[in-house]
């Protein structure tokens, strides 16, 4: 296995080989994050590049601070994701994309690996930080998933911050949905059928995985979904076993990409299952699911994974994956497109 990883790293295999988790493996990690597969590399400006790296770094530090203060892996995951939800540049929380009818519908989930408790919300429009609502569902209800108005009422009852839907409006996301509307109008006029979404606007999600001093793993994921999605559409991010999973006997996983494929292939659970039952490493499992199973099905996306020993891996079959991790001693690594 190591020989294969060395060859990939050295560029000695043909260029057709897909991106593996090999070069994204890091040891002694306590918190890993992703900010989605991002826009096309050619479209990212130096200023945007700087902003993405800065927010990822800040989120990693925020989560690590929780761990250093004796907090749990759940505390670290929630803190890191909340910070990214508050940033307008990621497709989660404030930066959420618009549905086909010009609204923002947000999804999130969180899970801990010791007892496998989980909570999630979907299709919410007034909850400022959906990841906190997901945690409240897990800890303060007997359920796992709340949707729409019911989730918003529950969040209000728990004292969580609610906002007017206009809070989620950002110029970048509004331009994205306007571009889709424009192309749809042109294609209707030309009678050429359905519009193809601009690739850089299709997907995007944020997520985190953490390991605390007690050896407990946790994972969380938050998203605005896909630009131009049908109202009421729910992707993989709030689905336990699809976009999020944690098991202390294996790893914590958070995913991003074309959600329908991640649901159908139960991606986050599949990675954990391979580790437990095939006894493969976290990077080997993540790479097999993302770069073999999903790619063979034409499903685009990525996963970050942190195993019970602190081994962090990222696998993606897209052009890039905005991701980062921080070790126990505070070493930070952030990457966008780099192999």
Please provide residue 162's backbone torsions phi and psi, each rounded to the nearest 5 degrees: -110, 150
* pLDDT tens-digit readout, 252-263: 999 999 999 999
Question: Tokens for 336?
Answer: 């966008």
The sign of the torsion formed by the CA atoms of 253, 139, 73, 249 equals negative
Report the C-alpha gap between 237 and 264 in whole angstroms: 13
Q: What is the pLDDT of residues 133-179, one digit of tens each?
A: 999 999 999 999 999 999 999 999 999 999 999 999 887 887 888 88
Question: What is this structure's pTM?
Answer: 0.88
Of 5-9, 68-72, 199-203, where does mean pLDDT reach its minimum? 5-9
CATH topology of domain 20-93+107-116+199-335: 3.60.20
Which residue in 270, 261, 253 sits closest to 236, CA to CA?
261
pLDDT at site 169: 84
Q: Active-site positions? A: 205
The candidate with the shortest Cα–Cα distance to 200, out of 316, 41, 46, is 41
* Crossing angle for the helix pair 73-85 and 46-68, to the nearest 10 degrees: 150
């Amino acid at each position: 296995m190591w020989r294969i990883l060395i060859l990939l790293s050295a560029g000695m295999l043909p260029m057709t080989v897909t991106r593996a988790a090999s070069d994204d493996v890091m040891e002694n990690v306590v918190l890993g994050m992703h900010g989605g597969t991002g826009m096309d590399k050619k479209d990212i400006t130096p200023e945007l590049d700087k902003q993405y790296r800065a927010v990822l770094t800040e989120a990693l530090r925020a989560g690590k601070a929780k761990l250093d203060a004796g907090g749990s892996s759940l505390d670290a995951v929630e803190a890191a994701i909340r910070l990214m939800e508050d940033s307008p540049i990621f497709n989660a929380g404030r930066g959420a994309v618009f549905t086909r009818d010009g609204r923002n519908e947000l999804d999130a989930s969180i899970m801990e690996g010791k007892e496998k408790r989980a909570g999630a919300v979907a299709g919410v429009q007034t909850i400022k930080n959906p990841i906190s609502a997901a945690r409240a569902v897990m800890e303060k209800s007997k359920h796992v998933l709340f949707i729409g108005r019911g989730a918003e009422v529950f969040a209000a009852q728990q004292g969580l911050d609610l906002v007017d839907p206009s809070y989620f409006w950002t110029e970048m996301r509004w331009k994205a949905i306007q571009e889709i509307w424009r192309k749809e109008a042109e294609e209707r006029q030309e009678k050429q059928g359905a519009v193809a979404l601009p690739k850089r606007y299709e997907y995007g999600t944020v997520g985190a995985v953490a390991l605390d001093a007690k050896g407990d793993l946790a994972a969380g994921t938050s998203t605005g979904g896909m630009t131009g999605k049908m109202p009421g559409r729910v992707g993989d991010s709030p689905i336990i076993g699809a976009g999020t999973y944690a098991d202390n006997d294996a790893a914590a996983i958070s995913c991003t990409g074309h959600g329908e494929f991640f649901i159908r292939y139960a991606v986050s659970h599949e990675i954990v299952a391979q580790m437990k039952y095939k006894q493969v490493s976290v990077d080997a499992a993540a790479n097999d699911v993302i770069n073999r199973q999903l790619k063979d099905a034409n499903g685009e996306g990525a996963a970050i994974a942190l195993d019970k020993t602190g081994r962090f891996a990222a696998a993606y079959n897209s052009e890039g994956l905005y991701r980062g991790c921080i070790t126990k001693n505070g070493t930070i690594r952030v990457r966008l497109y780099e192999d």
